[in-house]
Amino acid sequence: MRVLFFIALSIFPYVLLAQERMITYQSENKDLARVFKELEKAYNIHFAFAVDEVKEKKISIKAENEELSSFLSSLLAGHQLSFEIVEENFIAVSKASSVLLRMFVRDEETGEALSFATARLKGSDQGYIADVDGNFEIIVANPSEAILEISFLGYEKKEIQVGTLEPAKSVAISLERDPRELQEIIVKEYLNKGITVDDQASRISIDIQDMEILPGLSERDILSSIQILAGIGSADESAGGLNVRGSSRDNTFIYWNKIPVYQSAHYFGNISAFIPSSIGKVDVFKNYIPVPYGGASAGLLLINARTPTAKKAVVESNLNLTHGDVYASVPFANFNGRISLAARRSFNDLLATPTFNAISNKLFDGSLTEDQQGISEDFEYNSKLAFSDLNLVIELNAAGKNKFSLSALSSQSKLDYDSQDEENFLESIQEHRVRTFGGNFTWNRRWSGRLSSEWSTSYADYYMDYSLINIRNETNGTEDDIQSRMNDLENLESRFTLTYAPIKNHVFDAGYQFNRVGADLTINEDFFFEDDFSESITSEGNTHGLFANYFGKFGSGLQLGFGIRHNSYEALENTRLDRQMRLNYELAPGILLKSTAGVYHQYISSLKEVDFVFSNTIEQNWIIADSEEEIPVIKNEQVVLGALLTKAGWVVDIDGYLKRVFAPVARNFGPRPEDEDGLISGVEVITGLDLTVKRRWKYYRAWFSYAFQNSEVETIDQQFPSGLNIRHQFQLSQTANYKQWEFSLGYTLRSGLPYTNASGFVEIDPGNDDEPFIEIQYEDLNSNRLPAYQRLDASAWYKFKKKKPYKLAGEIGISILNVLNTNNRYSRTFSIEEDDQDTIFLLRSDRQLIGITPNISVRLKF
């Protein structure tokens, strides 16, 4: 035992020396054999190697005080060689018997990951499949002789010499598109960086994280960004009130990670309910609605959650003048999974800012009358608005061919409003609560290079509760006016889709969608001077949708697609058939003629009320169809013809369209057709044209868009312009980049909205000993227009990168909406008033839109 102790004691210093030997060395393109000799001389170590194995291997390396084993690993990396420290100063170098390769396969043009790409060792049956992010991890024996064949449907196959790859480190492999295959040729920059369109010109995609500056934005608000597209806007300037080509806002459906969303914005629609840092790519459809998504009749927004590609945790925070948010995304399961969480909370219930004051003025001080420009000195109010959002996404790539994701969102918004009008002895108390919750589970499976499937199940719950109390006498509650609204909508949605590409340039989709929907709307109005009103609409039912879709390319330029969807509504005991067709032709490189035609049905819709609240908003009450007489299914027949040109920095996109929408006229508690109450059946005919012209220079982009739209409503005995009949809209936008700065300026000019003018009033004697009453006399419905709308918006972003010693990156955004503080009007209503001398007169009230609104946003990336 004592002998063994002394032997171990004598060997230990040499072993320790080998382990702790620190190397400082530098070389530039030297032969490996020469590097070995220089190291031997400098550090009294000896290398044993076969000359043929190190022949013609060049080394460039720089190390300072680096541990020997670590240094040798870096030295031999990429040369398919391994080492072994045999004694304290003797190192054997030989060919590596196997290596670990990490590769990331991407599109050479766009840089996007090619999910489930395949790799095969040439001359063998050994194959591999990448995960959904295009990542491989492969162990290859005999690497010096091995060749990998990387392939993906629609791309040219690439062969890689394994011996040229650097082991263990992730290497990007770029594949070129095969022009003979059916693949979407992405127009890399439709308007601005991050905004693209496919070669079918049927879907516009916005990558929020890659998007550059747009006019009036201090941060990447997705719903505001979408309104830069011709044909998509908001009549009331809200983020959530999107009107696609003259259609009502409820005719466009929104999904977040496949969860239906029925409350898309806070502050009565003025701030998007989607946290910018948690959003990835957004697909916008306005020419047609994909058949797997039944229910929308005018437009569709598919908002996808962000999936960072970095193999590390991502943490970000953002703060502006209305709210703050945080975002964190952490990988797990050896980078095959990722969990992402985003949370946001407004703070204007604690601190009022200029941005909040501008929104509040629009919401509550926006009633301007002929004799009162603003609010009287006797009027005081206290307003508290608050909202919060929470998003969660868990993703897991299992066994290469499977991807699982679990998503959840929660959103809450509340208003407490108390006002006192001392002159009229009136106090008003308003409370508004909105709660949204949703969840989704999705399983994607790639069965082969040509067959894949997706199963998705979602649950969405929307709840709104509103009450308004006008207190005339604090001691006598019988004189109060009380209004209340309660709306609850639940939707369980499950969808299975199978995608098959049997031969080149031809793709088939088929599947089934199930919905279990229940809606409850209760309206109560208890007035002291007027008649009371009460209504309750409760309905529920199942819908079943079978759908199939085909798209293919023929020859050098012809594209053909058609889809069909069979909808069965159990509650209505009938069925409806959606059908669509797309026909495009590439006239020449960069010139595409396009056309779509389709019939779409909508089962879930909303009643829109304008005048029952004194905030300058539209309240959407969600309902579902229950019969053809009461609440029918909305039907849209639509044809679009157009062309897309993309050449030499130019983009010219033009669409002409015709729509016939069979739907009830939106409920409005203001003027409506005589002798009609509640829902009015009608047909809305919408004709229009969208034009976008964009030119890009190196650091400067400018684009002009024009939208013409004429929408007329036809009922049984009347014809009148729609309330969304905005005949002309012009937009001029420009952006410029300078180093780390981005600047943008945009101007919008459009026709004023239609309104129904009051010509006077008359006294009506109903007889039967009833009291006479005053009735307003109106001109033809929507035969007048408000003044033209115009707005100038500006913004600037500054982006900063990580620099030592600081470890922060991010951006600072500054924006000003309505720079010129133009007094734009949204609606005009009339009422009967009586002065101190008992003189009755007609009072006109205009609701104004947002005034000059500054905002600042600071986004930090840790």
| pLDDT tens string 156-195 | 778 887 767 766 567 888 887 654 344 444 556 788 888 9
In this predicted structure, the answer to whether residue 697 has a pLDDT above a threshold of 70 is yes
Domain ranges of the chain: 2-95, 98-175, 222-861
Of all residues in the chain, what percent carry a pLDDT higher than 90? 42
Identity of the amino acid at 9: L
pLDDT at 413: 92
Task: Determine which of 207-216, 294-303, 370-379 has the lowest per-residue pLDDT on average.
Answer: 370-379
pLDDT at 346: 94
Per-residue confidence at 477, pLDDT binned at 50, 70, 90?
Answer: low
In this predicted structure, the answer to whether residue 713 has a pLDDT above a threshold of 50 is yes
Q: What is the mean pLDDT of residues 281-287?
A: 94
pLDDT at 685: 94
pLDDT at 408: 97
State the architecture of 2-95 in CATH terms. 3-Layer(bab) Sandwich (3.55)
pLDDT at 495: 97
Q: What is the mean pLDDT of residues 622-628?
A: 82
pLDDT at 381: 58
- Whether 63 contacts 106, CB under 8 Å: no
- List the CATH code of the domain at 98-175: 2.60.40.1120
Q: What is the pLDDT of residues 810-853, one digit of tens each?
A: 999 999 999 999 999 988 888 888 777 778 888 888 888 899 99
pLDDT at 421: 66
Q: What is the mean pLDDT of residues 763-769?
A: 78
In this predicted structure, the answer to whether residue 368 has a pLDDT above a threshold of 50 is no
As a whole number, the mean pLDDT across the chain is 84
Q: What is the mean pLDDT of residues 510-536?
A: 87
Buried-exposed string 660-674: b where 16+ CB fall within 10 A, e elsewhere: bbbbbbbbbebbbbe
Q: What is the mean pLDDT of residues 413-428?
A: 74
Place of tokens 């909202």: 387
Task: Determine which of 95-109, 388-402, 599-613, 754-768 has the lowest per-residue pLDDT on average.
Answer: 95-109
Identity of the amino acid at 183: Q
In this predicted structure, the answer to whether residue 766 has a pLDDT above a threshold of 80 is no
Per-residue confidence at 647, pLDDT binned at 50, 70, 90?
Answer: confident
Q: Rounded to whole angstroms, how far apart are CA atoms 285 and 283?
A: 7
Q: What is the mean pLDDT of residues 437-445?
A: 96
pLDDT at 508: 94
Give me 196's structure tokens: 């693209």
In this predicted structure, the answer to whether residue 668 has a pLDDT above a threshold of 70 is no
pLDDT at 839: 82
Q: For the domain 222-861, what is the CATH superfamily, name and number?
A: TonB-dependent receptor, beta-barrel domain (2.40.170.20)
In this predicted structure, the answer to whether residue 81 has a pLDDT above a threshold of 70 is yes
Q: What is the mean pLDDT of residues 325-336?
A: 89
Per-residue confidence at 293, pLDDT binned at 50, 70, 90?
Answer: very high
pLDDT at 524: 87
Q: Rounded to whole angstroms, how far apart are CA atoms 165 and 162?
A: 5
pLDDT at 4: 38
Could you tell me the end-to-end alpha-carbon distance of the chain, in angstroms, rounded to an integer? 57
Q: What is the mean pLDDT of residues 111-127?
A: 75
Collapsed DSSP state (helix, strand, coil) of residue 222: helix
Nearest to 131 by CA among 156, 154, 103: 103
pLDDT at 658: 97
pLDDT at 269: 82
Nearest to 324 by CA among 351, 305, 343: 343
pLDDT at 596: 96
In this predicted structure, the answer to whether residue 261 has a pLDDT above a threshold of 60 is yes
Nearest to 255 by CA among 306, 302, 305, 205: 302
pLDDT at 559: 92
Per-residue confidence at 138, pLDDT binned at 50, 70, 90?
Answer: confident
pLDDT at 9: 37
Per-residue confidence at 18, pLDDT binned at 50, 70, 90?
Answer: very low
Of 120 and 186, the structure prediction assigns the larger pLDDT to: 120
Per-residue confidence at 505, pLDDT binned at 50, 70, 90?
Answer: confident
In this predicted structure, the answer to whether residue 10 has a pLDDT above a threshold of 80 is no
Non-local CB neighbours of 628 within 8 Å, separated by 6+ positions: 572
Of all residues in the chain, what percent carry a pLDDT higher than 70? 85
Give the C-alpha distances (Å, rounded to integers) separating 552 from 51, 198, 200, 559: 57, 14, 11, 6
Task: Determine which of 151-155, 346-350, 647-651, 753-757 has the lowest per-residue pLDDT on average.
Answer: 151-155
Q: What is the mean pLDDT of residues 407-425?
A: 80
pLDDT at 74: 80
Q: Which of 198-212, 521-535, 617-631 has the highest mean pLDDT?
A: 198-212
